[in-house]
Structure 1
Amino acid sequence: MSDATDEVIPLDDGGQLRRVIIPRSVADADAADFIATVEARNTVSREITGTEDHTRTAAELLPHYRPDAYEVRHLWLVQDAAGNAIGRVGVDIPLETGSTVAYAQIELVRDRWGRGIGTAAHALVERTARAHGRTVLQSWADHPDAPGERITPPTGYGSIPLDHAARFYRRHGYTLEQIERCSAYDLAAPREHLTELISTAQTAATGYRVVQWMLPTPPERLDGYAWMKSRMSTDVPAAALTVDEERWDAARVRRHDALWVDGGHRVLVTAAEHIRTGELCAFNELVRGDTPGAVTFQEDTLVLETHRGHRLGMLVKCAGLLRWRNIAADSPRVITYNAEENRPMLDINEAIGFAPIMYDGAWKKSLV
């Protein structure tokens, strides 16, 4: 769904918000706007984190913006009066049956704060969500630690500083619902520690074995992987956030795999298989792009509820990290995100050696 009035929106300072047409390739003549949004995104990431850890190339991100049957992604480039890229705006619309939620993203370089650009962008976000019939807006933001007043979500777990981003969300009617801990693991840490943890986990995981594959997923693993991916939308702590139950099948797994592989990523899936039934019942994903020295991201990790209590989370995480050292030997660290109330998973991470480096706030606004 697209409103022609939202193709180009003038800003009071002479700049504009311009809808981005998603190109087939970053080498195409019409890719300039998309590339500019990625450059603005990376500038914002550097300003917030002080590192290159979260930056991406346009080629890595492009597959995630191509249209498909599972979500609609709207993207706008923010430009100043001279035509410089100073930010980006996104609205993601999941297409699950009965979905009421839209996901918002507003990123603006720091020296353009306080000029009303974010407010104009948010009006566009809200208008787009309403046009799709959505009644809930949700958004995530990084909140590096800082002195001063802090705020706590209703869960009671964790706190973040009342910083620029937090004030922006509050001013536009959002409430802080959850805090996620961003943690990092040094891939140069002693290998022996992982082998000790795996040995202990294997003792508790009698009746299970580790299976691993690189994407794309082999045919014999498609159905089991699909079921585990579907449980990520139901079985992880979500506080009072609105979360659609996702339906996954072999076709959706193939689409998921293509998003990563087509962007040049290497992805290792480490799973636990119940030997007697052949059921896949726990998994962990490690992902990195093809830029030399790029950090690794630990994406989804889950143990199915009916198989918890057998140290399977520790088993798949440690087995993945051990193999990953051979796959991506130049990657310096692994970064992961977990809800602050997800103590079982945080216990595993802390035992492995993950340490907190930053926190994310999950923000929610009702549109009714």
Structure 2
Amino acid sequence: MSTPPPGLELRPLPLPASADADDAGDFVEMVRVRNLVSTEISGHDDFHLTPHELLPAYAPGPHEHRMLWTVVLDGDIVGRIGVDIPLEEGSRVAYWLVELRRAVWGRGIGSAAYELVEHTARAHRRTVLQSWAQHPASDESRLPSPTGYGSVPRDHAARFYLRHGHSLEQVERVGALDLTDPGLPDHLDRLLQRATLAAEGYRVVQWELPTPPEFVDGYAWMKSRMVTDAPAAGLEFDEEAWDADRLRRHERFYLDARRRMLVTAAQHVDSGDIVAFNELVIGGDGTQATHQEDTLVLSEHRGHRLGMLVKCAALIAWRSVAPHSPRVVTINAEENRPMLDINEAIGFAPIAYEGGWKKVLSPGE
């Protein structure tokens, strides 16, 4: 393991009141470097955010404590470190990231940053460390997922995780849908018609944030089920309690960042319950990639093509919300075959794979 260079500093990053504030310079530069790292890994800018869009994600709240450091080498910001501490009762998890410019790899900087991650996790009495990384296509040997679905190359990121005691727990597929395909509108219309016939007893409801009052409780309940109903493999997630206040706090992240979110839900007609939902999000001027965020069908309502129903209805409505967005990007667990079947039928194609990594700290470590 390399000794870190003498000009290295790991600086806590104070958050400015706004991205335009006089003291926002370091935050703005951190976001610029974050975006450069994303492009170096993925080869595109679909995951870029502006400082104004990212800053609200770090607003203090009662459900999570988020910490940031800049990685500074010889006075220049070359990366960032993040540790997120969920505040659910009994939580033992910490989520972390270390992102570095490719030019400084192999100099012991990542290991020094990771040492800070573990120190921070232990200081908050967390024993489970979890992290995700994109693993671009590579000719290197493969590391299979323990779920039996998917693999990642033993690339620079994988070797880093393995060297620091992490195990691969899950592989996720990054998929993209070309919104400029001239045949897509008719294709979606046909899929929606078939899904509507299969979804007798359900209806589609849609809204942009903020959520209308009549849907707040149902939507909050669905958000709470994301961590219990979605495939998690060997990763550990805390069960979350969502109410109207938590939902409104969550929505502020998007609204304060001036990002648009369309929620498309399936409502059970007899009970009035929200039983499936899909989220599409875009920021900036509407010409960037769209991100499909949470999608879930409650387990007790599966078998009625509700996943296809909400996804197609969302994409059709999205033409009016963001007509200039070129594609939709989504991420799904590789073992989530029902959702991948829907995505593939719609036209999503895999463009990358991510690994979900985990380490359990031994007592006294």
Superposed, 1:53-132 pairs within 5 Å as: 53-81=46-74, 83-132=75-124
Given residue 207 of structure 1, which amino acid in structure 2 is its aligned partner? G
Distance 2:4 2:160 in 1: 18
The alignment's TM-score, normalised by the length of structure 1, stands at 0.96
Q: Deviations over 1:118-174 (max 9, x none)?
A: 000000000000000001000000001111201012111001110000000000000
**2:3 matched to 1:19?**
no
Distance 2:26 2:71 in 1: 10
Q: Deviations over 1:247-277 (max 9, x none)?
A: 1000011011110110010000000001111
1:236 to 207, 215, 230: 230
Superposed, 1:156-305 pairs within 5 Å as: 156-189=148-181, 190=183, 191-305=185-299
Count of residues in Structure 1 that have an aligned counterpart in Structure 2: 358
Distance 1:57 1:320 in 2: 25
1:351 to 345, 348, 353: 345
**Residue ranges of structure 2 left out of the alignment (5+ in a row):** none
Q: Is the 8 A contact 1:72 1:94 kept in 2?
A: yes
Q: Deviations over 1:8-53 (max 9, x none)?
A: xx95331211000111101112211211211111010110111111
Cα gap change, 1:114/1:59 in structure 2, threshold over 3 Å: closer, same or farther?
same
Q: Is the 8 A contact 2:286 2:322 kept in 1?
A: no
Q: Deviations over 1:311-362 (max 9, x none)?
A: 0000000000000011101100000000000000000000000000000000
**Residue ranges of structure 1 left out of the alignment (5+ in a row):** 1-9
The alignment's TM-score, normalised by the length of structure 2, stands at 0.97
Given residue 165 of structure 1, which amino acid in structure 2 is its aligned partner? A
Q: Secondary structure at the match of 1:232?
A: helix
| Alpha-carbon offset, residue 101 of structure 1 | 0.3
Partner of 2:25: 32
Distance 1:13 1:36 in 2: 22
Cα gap change, 1:287/1:276 in structure 2, threshold over 3 Å: closer, same or farther?
same
| Alpha-carbon offset, residue 278 of structure 1 | 0.5
Q: Is the 8 A contact 2:149 2:334 kept in 1?
A: yes
Distance 2:266 2:257 in 1: 27
For the aligned residues, what is the CA RMSD? 1.0
Q: Secondary structure at the match of 1:60?
A: helix
Distance 1:11 1:18 in 2: 15
Cα gap change, 1:214/1:361 in structure 2, threshold over 3 Å: closer, same or farther?
same
User: Which stretch shows the higher mean deviation, 261-270 or 25-34?
Assistant: 25-34
Q: Secondary structure at the match of 1:233?
A: helix
Partner of 1:5: none
Q: Is the 8 A contact 1:36 1:77 kept in 2?
A: no
Distance 1:35 1:73 in 2: 17
Distance 2:16 2:58 in 1: 9
Given residue 22 of structure 2, which amino acid in structure 1 is its aligned partner? A
Partner of 2:335: 341
Q: Is the 8 A contact 1:88 1:106 kept in 2?
A: yes
| Alpha-carbon offset, residue 56 of structure 1 | 0.8
Given residue 178 of structure 1, which amino acid in structure 2 is its aligned partner? Q
Distance 2:22 2:359 in 1: 38
**2:361 matched to 1:367?**
yes
Q: Is the 8 A contact 2:178 2:326 kept in 1?
A: yes
Superposed, 1:133-172 pairs within 5 Å as: 133-172=125-164
